[in-house]
Amino acid sequence: MPRHGSLTRVTIVEDHALFAEAMELAITLQGHVVHRVDTDAEGLSQNRLLTEVLVSRPTVVLLDLQLGSSIHGMPLIRPLSQVGIAVVVVTGSVDRSGWGEALFNGARTVLPKSAPLNTILSTIRLIQEGRRVLPRDERDRLVADFHQYRAQEQDGRERLATLTAREREILAEMMDGRQVREIAQAFVVSEATVRTQVKSILSKLGVSSQLAAVGLALRGRRDAPPVRRRG
């Protein structure tokens, strides 16, 4: 148990109540001061969540990335890190590029939720002692994965931008799982016309299948989906 003069203030930002309670209990038993942010609070916004965390004056923040449908933990990492708070991401995601993004933004390390609670406790102790919690080579690999993924996303957006308005509409129909016959009926054109448009889409996107085109669209246009047919 840490000495009284070296207590660590730990703030938990986690929307899974049982998991948060388990972490809170384990960390409290180690003698740390623990605060849990209510991620279910009515009207909670990204800025309000950041304020709630800062008000708790933490030394360490245990941060989940998925905090509901409208709030994400990633934007909190940089501002917290910039004021000297050690951010430890504890996530259910296994996406290495997402882990790399968290580290790029300033997180000390990323731990899977499947990790034993002792791993979280050990990480807090290492931070408390001023020691490194993630090997530099592992951090570099994860950050490189993030940069590679971001470059692929940008390339995908640039390819999608070459599509005509009608091709974007056709692609949107494909994303909805519609077949050529259904798309032709919806646009009142021949199936041959739709097949030609699909071939053009595949060519411009540099892919060989409709499935690959949909996958690229989902990655490259995550924040701005293709224009959908009206009516």
pLDDT digits (tens, 9 = 90+) for 128-181: 999 999 999 999 999 999 999 888 888 888 899 999 999 999 999 999 999 999
**CA 28 vs CA 15, 32, 121, 154: distances in Å:** 19, 5, 10, 44
Q: What is the structure's pLDDT at 71?
A: 85
Per-residue model confidence (pLDDT) at position 5: 44
pLDDT band at 227 (very low <50, low <70, confident <90, very high): very low
3-state secondary structure of 119: helix
CA distance 67 to 50: 13
The answer to whether the CB of 64 falls within 8 A of the CB of 15 is yes
The pLDDT of residue 52 is 92
**217 or 12: which leads in pLDDT:** 12
Closest CA to 91 of 196, 181, 15: 15
In this prediction, residue 217 has a pLDDT band, given cuts at 50, 70 and 90, of confident
pLDDT at 41: 75
Distance of alpha carbon 180 from alpha carbon 80, whole angstroms: 50
Average pLDDT of the segment spanning 183-189: 92
Where in the chain is CATH 1.10.10.10? Answer: 162-220
Residue 230 has pLDDT above 70, yes or no: no
The pLDDT tens digits for 104-132 are 999 999 999 999 999 999 999 999 999 99
Over residues 184-209, the mean pLDDT reads 93
Q: Write out the DSSP string of 61-100.
A: EEE-SB-SSS-BSHHHHHHHHHTT-EEEEEES---HHHHH
The fold of the 4-146 domain, in CATH, is Rossmann fold (3.40.50)
Distance CA 181, CA 129 (A): 65
Residues of the chain with CATH 3.40.50.2300: 4-146
- Indicate whether 59 pLDDT > 80: yes
Residue 204 near residue 159, CB atoms below 8 Å: yes
- How confident is residue 225, by pLDDT bands cut at 50, 70 and 90? very low
Q: Residue 215: pLDDT above 70?
A: yes
* Average pLDDT over the chain, rounded to an integer: 89
Q: Is the pLDDT of residue 226 over 60?
A: no
Please provide the CATH number assigned to the domain covering 162-220.
Answer: 1.10.10.10
Is residue 220 very low, low, confident or very high in pLDDT (cuts 50, 70, 90)? low
pTM for the whole structure: 0.75
Q: Which of 94-98, 163-167, 176-180, 215-219 has the lowest average pLDDT? A: 215-219
Work out the average pLDDT over 38-62: 89
Rounded distance between C-alpha atoms, residue 66 and residue 112, angstroms: 13
Query: Which residues are within 8 A (CB) of 72 and not within 5 positions of it... i.e. 6 or more apart?
Result: 46, 65, 66
